[in-house]
Amino acid sequence: MAKTKRYTSCFLCVFLSIAATLAALLEVEAAAPAVYIFGDSTLDVGTNDFIPECLARADVYFNGIDFPYSEPTGRFSNGLNTADEIVRLLGMERSPPPFLYLLNNPPTFKRNILLGANFASGGSGILNTTGQHQYNRVISLEEQIQQFSTIRSNITNMTGSDAVTDSILSKAFFLISIGSNDIFEYLLNLITRPMSMPEFNATLISTYENHLKTLYDLGGRTFGILSVPPVGCTPFSRAVFTSNNSCFPRAERFARKFHVEVAALLKKFSSEVQDIRYSVGNTHRITTTMMEDMLAFGFRNISGACCGNGTYPCNQTASFCANRDHYLFWDRFHPSQRASKIAALTLFGASESLVSPMNFSQLLGVNI
Ligand SMILES: *[C@@H]1O[C@H](CO)[C@@H](O)[C@H](O)[C@H]1NC(C)=O
Ligand SMILES: *[C@@H]1O[C@H](CO)[C@@H](O)[C@H](O)[C@H]1NC(C)=O
Ligand SMILES: *[C@@H]1O[C@H](CO)[C@@H](O)[C@H](O)[C@H]1NC(C)=O
Ligand SMILES: *[C@@H]1O[C@H](CO)[C@@H](O)[C@H](O)[C@H]1NC(C)=O
Ligand SMILES: *[C@@H]1O[C@H](CO)[C@@H](O)[C@H](O)[C@H]1NC(C)=O
Ligand SMILES: *[C@@H]1O[C@H](CO)[C@@H](O)[C@H](O)[C@H]1NC(C)=O
Ligand SMILES: *[C@@H]1O[C@H](CO)[C@@H](O)[C@H](O)[C@H]1NC(C)=O
Ligand SMILES: *[C@@H]1O[C@H](CO)[C@@H](O)[C@H](O)[C@H]1NC(C)=O
Ligand SMILES: *[C@@H]1O[C@H](CO)[C@@H](O)[C@H](O)[C@H]1NC(C)=O
């Protein structure tokens, strides 16, 4: 009896130690992957603050009013933005810092780049030229990817082998949100060379494809892609392109088609290369769903900016709304923190009509 008991307790102790090992392993498995973030102001967490000559900035109050210490960080939001809200669902506190911040902090650079980095720059686009004239200087997607390639070489310098770097990066999450500024510039006739709509859109998609190929060659294997939101329904578009404050149909058509093309591009691209996994979020439909059923989502105003208006940016002298949680738009272009949070939850939990071919939970193996 005593023997059996000892056996049992010993069995139990072996079982417990296996369970503990498993739990430790699972914890490692469940730890957030490294996250590398590319794109425009929807994901910028302060990149442009490091470019003195850049005019696309959110480094002034009321931006950041709901951020800890009401600090304007360069996020185009009252608080967190979409990059933050997405990685929070992976268990991180907020987005990894801007690459340019990491670069300025050499002692922690090596440790930090293994956790991730944010390259997104407000005002930038798929095309190199986008934003460079209007905002003086922004970091194009191409240059963002060049910055990532520096990180890759730094990681290889640590691991001593490209194969080990590949294996590390194959587990990382690559989040991209880009395209709105290219479309705005086209509609405002700001592009350097006149192009027909079909020519412009073909250029946009083939350039995007090249960028994705480069990221793949640099080791990216898991991609979350956000197509463009309803750019025709922003307070800016309503004020600048229409006279009756409704959405601008031409921009809306462009945004919807852009999503279809990006989804097709990823489908094609993923069939041509090995080991790639991806989700494309239909940011346009996710946002218009909030607009069409605003009360269900707790919004009272889906057409105006909480801070500033269609033509006036957000700063401390701009007009300012009474309740920012009631607003879909924080400023003339960008969602409020609440809208970003709803969008992130949707990306992780929605069905194929909003995020395909799988949602972010499936892509990244998390339960929310
Ligand atoms: C875009 O800019 C990068 C530098 O940031 C440059 O290396 C590249 O050649 C440019 N690409 C095109 C298509 O102009
Ligand atoms: C590689 O790391 C060493 C030691 O940290 C450093 O001195 C060297 O500059 C690095 N080289 C590159 C190309 O990153
Ligand atoms: C990172 O890599 C770049 C390009 O190879 C190099 O110039 C830089 O010194 C490296 N930084 C560190 C900290 O290794
Ligand atoms: C707004 O004006 C456009 C023409 O500029 C028109 O096509 C559209 O129907 C109008 N919308 C509303 C809601 O009145
Ligand atoms: C872009 O071009 C493709 C093929 O030429 C076409 O199917 C698509 O509708 C176009 N998209 C836009 C936004 O015009
Ligand atoms: C939405 O908010 C804007 C800016 O505060 C305001 O001008 C507009 O009248 C509001 N619209 C509605 C429908 O409440
Ligand atoms: C806010 O922005 C407007 C328009 O760009 C500018 O005229 C105004 O001086 C700015 N206010 C502050 C406090 O910077
Ligand atoms: C936008 O806000 C600015 C500053 O508050 C104001 O001067 C301007 O008239 C407003 N424009 C509209 C269309 O309300
Ligand atoms: C989203 O992904 C999760 C997997 O984590 C899955 O259980 C769920 O059914 C998906 N949602 C929809 C609506 O497809």
User: pLDDT by residue (tens digit) across 202-248?
Assistant: 999 999 999 999 999 999 999 999 999 999 999 999 999 999 999 99
CA atoms within 13 A on the CB side of 305: 27
Shortest-distance atom of ligand 2 to CA 154: 14
Cα(312) to centroid(ligand 8), Å: 6
pLDDT band at 24 (very low <50, low <70, confident <90, very high): very low
Q: How far apart are CA 95 and CA 58, in angstroms?
A: 16
Cα(259) to centroid(ligand 5), Å: 11
Q: Which of 90, 354, 359 to mutate to test the pocket of ligand 9 (most atoms within 8 A of CB)?
A: 359
What is the structure's pLDDT at 28? 42
Query: What is the pairing mode between strands 35-39 and 173-177?
Result: parallel
CA atoms within 13 A on the CB side of 19: 6
Q: What is the pLDDT of residues 121-171, one digit of tens each?
A: 999 999 999 999 999 999 999 999 999 999 999 999 999 999 999 999 999
pLDDT band at 194 (very low <50, low <70, confident <90, very high): confident
Quick check: 110 and 158 in contact, CB under 8 A?
yes
pLDDT exceeds cutoff 90 at 367: no
Tokens of 233: 């329904």
Q: How far apart are CA 266 and CA 201, in angstroms?
A: 16
Q: Compute the residue count for the chain.
A: 368
Q: How far apart are CA 193 and CA 368, in angstroms?
A: 46
**Active-site residue identified among 44, 334, 336, 340:** 334
Residue ranges and CATH numbers for the domains of the chain are 32-230+249-284+336-364 (3.40.50)
Average pLDDT of the residues of the chain: 92
Q: Which of 119, 126, 128 to mutate to test the pocket of ligand 1 (most atoms within 8 A of CB)?
A: 128
What is the structure's pLDDT at 30? 53
Cα(218) to centroid(ligand 1), Å: 17
Q: What is the pLDDT of residues 232-288, one digit of tens each?
A: 999 999 999 999 999 999 999 999 999 999 999 999 999 999 999 999 999 999 999
- The percentage of the chain sitting over the pLDDT mark of 70, rounded to a whole number, equals 92
Cis geometry, peptide bond prior to residue 62 (ω within 30 degrees of 0):
yes
Whether 128 lines ligand 1, by a CB cut-off of 6 Å, is yes
Q: Which of 237, 307, 309 to mutate to test the pocket of ligand 8 (most atoms within 8 A of CB)?
A: 309
Residue 49 among the catalytic residues? no
What is the structure's pLDDT at 22? 37
Q: What is the pLDDT of residues 351-365, one digit of tens each?
A: 999 999 999 999 999
What is the structure's pLDDT at 368? 77
What is the structure's pLDDT at 5? 40
What is the structure's pLDDT at 190? 82
* Rg (the chain; Cα; Å): 22
Residue with tokens 């590949």: 166
Shortest-distance atom of ligand 1 to CA 146: 5
Ligand 2, atom 8: closest residue by C-alpha? 157
What is the structure's pLDDT at 193? 79
pLDDT exceeds cutoff 90 at 315: yes
Q: How far apart are CA 215 and CA 38, in angstroms?
A: 11
What is the structure's pLDDT at 16? 37
pLDDT, mean of residues 96-125: 97
Quick check: 181 and 124 in contact, CB under 8 A?
yes
Whether 321 lines ligand 6, by a CB cut-off of 6 Å, is yes
Ligand 3, atom 10: closest residue by C-alpha? 154
Whether 142 lines ligand 1, by a CB cut-off of 6 Å, is yes
pLDDT exceeds cutoff 50 at 76: yes
